[in-house]
């Protein structure tokens, strides 16, 4: 006949091992989820810090069709160059209003500070329409010149071009 002997020390070790294995399993399962969260967006222009935040806020305003807020961040002498030619502030606002931006993603962002100015170059892939026509699925190359003024940063110049296909 076989008797089972209760050993509290052995049971305690088994319980601790199971608990440690459970914690290890939870941690290993939650690590991949940490990379799924998007980068936190700046809540407002006043809280924005850095060139990527300014560009994201700029395009967020276009996407939301928040024209008064976008216009507040364009300098009085704002000028843009695109495939359609040169446009001033009012003409650029009219062009932005013809853009129905559904989504976008920025890449290859580089900033070059120069006193109170900052030149920002980047690529952007946009999904949506312009003048009712679908936007190209290829990236655009963009450049914005931002200028620091008393009220924060304003865009004073902008240029865009469809990126050439990779060779």
pLDDT tens-digit readout, 113-167: 998 899 999 999 999 999 999 998 889 999 999 999 988 889 999 999 887 776 6
Looking up tokens 């294995």 gives 21
**Would you state the structure tokens that stand for residue 31, as one six-digit string?**
């690590």
| Sequence-ordered list of residues with C-beta below 8 angstroms from that of 86, at least 6 positions apart, any chain | 79, 80
Report the SS3 class of residue 6.
coil
Rounded alpha-carbon distances, angstroms, from residue 31 to 25, 27, 34: 10, 6, 5
Q: How many residues does the chain have?
A: 167
What digits encode the pLDDT tens for the residues 19-77? Answer: 555 454 444 444 444 433 344 455 565 666 677 888 899 999 999 999 999 999 999 99
Query: Would you report the helix, strand and coil content of the chain in percent, each value rounded to 5?
Result: 35, 40, 25
DSSP 46: T
| Structural domains for the chain | 51-162 (3.10.450.50)
| Sequence-ordered list of residues with C-beta below 8 angstroms from that of 127, at least 6 positions apart, any chain | 101, 102, 103, 104, 135, 137
H-helix or E-strand spanning residue 52: helix 51-64
* pLDDT band for position 86 (cuts 50, 70, 90): very high
């Amino acid at each position: 006949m076989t008797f089972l002997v209760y050993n509290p020390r052995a049971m305690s070790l088994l319980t601790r091992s199971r608990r440690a294995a459970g914690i290890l399993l939870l941690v290993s399962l939650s690590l991949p989820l940490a990379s799924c969260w998007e980068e936190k967006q700046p809540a407002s222009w006043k809280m924005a810090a850095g060139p990527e935040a300014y560009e994201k806020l700029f395009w967020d305003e276009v996407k939301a069709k928040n024209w008064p807020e976008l216009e507040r961040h364009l300098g009085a002498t704002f000028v843009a160059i695109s495939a359609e030619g040169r446009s001033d502030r009012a003409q650029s606002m009219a062009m932005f209003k013809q853009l129905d931006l559904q989504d976008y993603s920025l890449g290859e962002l580089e900033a070059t500070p120069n006193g109170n100015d900052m030149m920002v170059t980047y690529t952007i892939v946009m999904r949506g329409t312009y003048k009712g026509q679908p936007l190209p699925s290829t990236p655009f190359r963009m450049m914005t010149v931002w200028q620091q003024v008393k009220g924060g940063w304003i865009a004073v110049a902008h240029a865009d071009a469809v990126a050439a296909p990779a060779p």
